[in-house]
Amino acid sequence: MIIGKVVGSVVSTRKNENLVGNKFLIVEPLKSMRASGNNIVAIDNVGAGIGEVVLIATGSAARIGCGKEDEPIDAAIVGIVDNGTELE
């Protein structure tokens, strides 16, 4: 799992038909979680918004976590962090 902060959203008018109706957000991994320093585009499964700290599952766990096992998803927001110590 990755902890990150939602910093924006992605609008896509053309996408895989299995992804129509889903919201995509740009998440910046917290400093201690950055492997490559890059932001992540993740499907929003919990109704997160810009500025919130979220939990992200990646790979097959992302697809299973949001009940979309047969869809082309690599990262999914699966939780919103209410509070935590030393997150930033």
pLDDT tens figures, 1-58: 899 999 999 988 888 887 788 899 999 998 765 555 689 999 998 999 999 999 999 9
Q: Within a domain: residue 26? A: yes
Question: 88, 57 in Cβ contact below 8 A?
Answer: no
Res. 84 pLDDT band, cuts 50 70 90: low
Pick left, alpha or beta for residue 82 (phi over 0 → left; psi -120 to 50 → alpha; otherwise beta): alpha
Q: Within a domain: residue 56? A: yes
Domain carrying residue 1: 1-12+19-35+52-83
DSSP-derived letter for residue 52 is -
Q: Within a domain: residue 46? A: no
